[in-house]
Amino acid sequence: MTDTIAAAPDRPIAESPLLNTKDLRGVALRSYTIMGSFNYERMQGLGFLCSILKPLRKIYSGDDNALRAAMRRNVAAFNMTCAPSPFVMGITMAMEENHSRDPSLDPSSINAIKVSLMGPLSGIGDTFFWGIFRVLACSLAIGFATQGSPIAPFVLLLSFGIPNIAVRLVGVRLGYSRGRVLIEHLEKSGQMQLVTQCASIVGAMAIGCMIAMWVKISSPLVFTMGNMKIAVQDYLDQISPKLLPLVVTLGILWCLKKNIKVPFIILGIVVIGFLLGITGIIAM
C-alpha cells in the first residue's frame, strides 16, 4: 500500500489526516492482540486500546490530559468478531482526530458509534470467517491431509489467514479514510447528534441481545395448588421474556454505578448464585 493517506501538501493543515499508512498498518497488526486480555468486565476493551494506543499518542501529542481521557474512553467494554474490528478502530481514530481538533464535539459519540457497530459487524464477520472461510479452509486442508500430504497444515493456515489479514489491513484503512469523510460531512450538516442517538439505540439493542444470549438464568420453582401446577418461570416469561437475566444485569450495572469493585461483584455473584442454586430458586 502506498502512503496516499498522508497529508497532502496543498491541503489545509486543519483538514489533513494525522495518521499515515504505517500507523494504520500497525493498528491492523496489533489488532491480533485484541483477545489477549479478554475479561468479563471490559471484554476486548483493553486489547482495543492497545491496538490504537500509538495513533492516540500521535493524535493527542502534547496534551496529556486529553490523551488520558481518550484512553479511558477506548478501554470501555467492547466485543466483536476479531477480523473486522480494525474497521471500527479506523473510525474511532478518525473521530478521536476530529475531537482533538474540535474539543466541543461530544466524545460520547465515539463509544456510541463503536457499540452500534459491534452487532452488525459481528454478524457479518461470524458468517464469513466462521461459517464460510473456516469450513472452506478445513475442507481443503483435510483433502490434503487424507492423502498424507505434509502441506496440509500450511493450506489451512494460509487459506484462513490470508483473508483474515487482508480484511484487517483494508478495514482499518477504509474505516479511517471513509469514516473521517463521513464524520466531517455529518458535522457540517448538523446530523451528528441524530446519528449518535440512532447509534445509541442500536447499541442498546445489541447489548440487549447479548444479555439474552449470554446470561442464562431461569427459575425451576413449581408450586402445586390443588390439582394445578404453577411454574414460576412461565409467569415470568409472560411478564417479559428473559426477565431474570435482565434483572441480574441491571443489578450488576447498579453496583458498578455505586463504584463497587468488580472483584466484590464477582464474589457476590458466586455466593448468591450458589445459595440460590442449591436452594432450587434459580437454575442455568
Reading phi first (left if > 0) and then psi (alpha if -120 to 50, else beta), residue 62 is in left
What element of type H or E holds 3? Answer: none
Which of 211, 243, 264 lies at the terminal end of a domain, its last residue?
A: 211
Confidence of residue 67 (pLDDT cuts 50, 70, 90): very high
pLDDT of residue 262: 82
pLDDT of residue 60: 92
CB 25 within 8 A of CB 5: no
Question: Vertex 242, ends 241 and 247: CA angle to 5°?
Answer: 125
Residue 229, SS3 per DSSP? strand
176 and 225 fall within a common domain: no
Report the 3 state secondary structure along 4-31.
Answer: CCCCCCCCCHHHCCCCCHHHHHHHHHHH
Structural domain count, the chain: 2
Q: How far is CA 276 from the centre of its chain?
A: 32
CB 58 within 8 A of CB 96: no
Q: How far is Cα 136 from Cα 159, in angstroms, rounded to an integer?
A: 8
Domain with 200, as residue range(s), is: 21-211
Q: H helices of 147-261, where?
A: 152-189, 192-214, 232-239, 243-257
| pTM as predicted | 0.68
165 and 244 fall within a common domain: no
Confidence of residue 178 (pLDDT cuts 50, 70, 90): confident
pLDDT of residue 57: 93
Nine-digit cell string for 70: 481518550
175 and 223 fall within a common domain: no
Residue 74, SS3 per DSSP? helix
114 and 196 fall within a common domain: yes
Residue 207, SS3 per DSSP? helix
Choice between 69 and 226, residue whose per-residue pLDDT is larger: 69
CB within 8 Å of 266: residues ≥ 6 apart: none
**CA-to-CA dists, residue 141 to 148, 179, 227, angstroms:** 11, 37, 60
45 and 95 fall within a common domain: yes
Which of 188, 211, 234 lies at the terminal end of a domain, its last residue?
A: 211
DSSP string, 117-168: HHHHHHHHHIIIIIIIIHHHHHHHHHHHHHTT-TTHHHHHHHHHHHHHHHHH
Residue 69, SS3 per DSSP? helix
Query: 152-161, 219-228, 235-244: which has the highest mean pLDDT?
Result: 152-161
Residue 15 lies in a domain: no
168 and 247 fall within a common domain: no
Q: How far is Cα 244 from Cα 266, in angstroms, rounded to an integer?
A: 17
pLDDT of residue 183: 66
229 and 97 fall within a common domain: no
228 and 138 fall within a common domain: no
Q: How far is Cα 59 from Cα 143, in angstroms, rounded to an integer?
A: 49
CB within 8 Å of 184: residues ≥ 6 apart: 15, 98
What element of type H or E holds 91? Answer: helix 85-101
Kindly state the percentage of the chain with pLDDT values over 90. 24
Amino acid at 215: V
Over residues 132-149, mean pLDDT? 84
CB 138 within 8 A of CB 156: yes
Which of 211, 232, 266 lies at the terminal end of a domain, its last residue?
A: 211
Q: Is the pLDDT of residue 148 over 80?
A: yes
Nine-digit cell string for 197: 442517538
Residue 7 lies in a domain: no
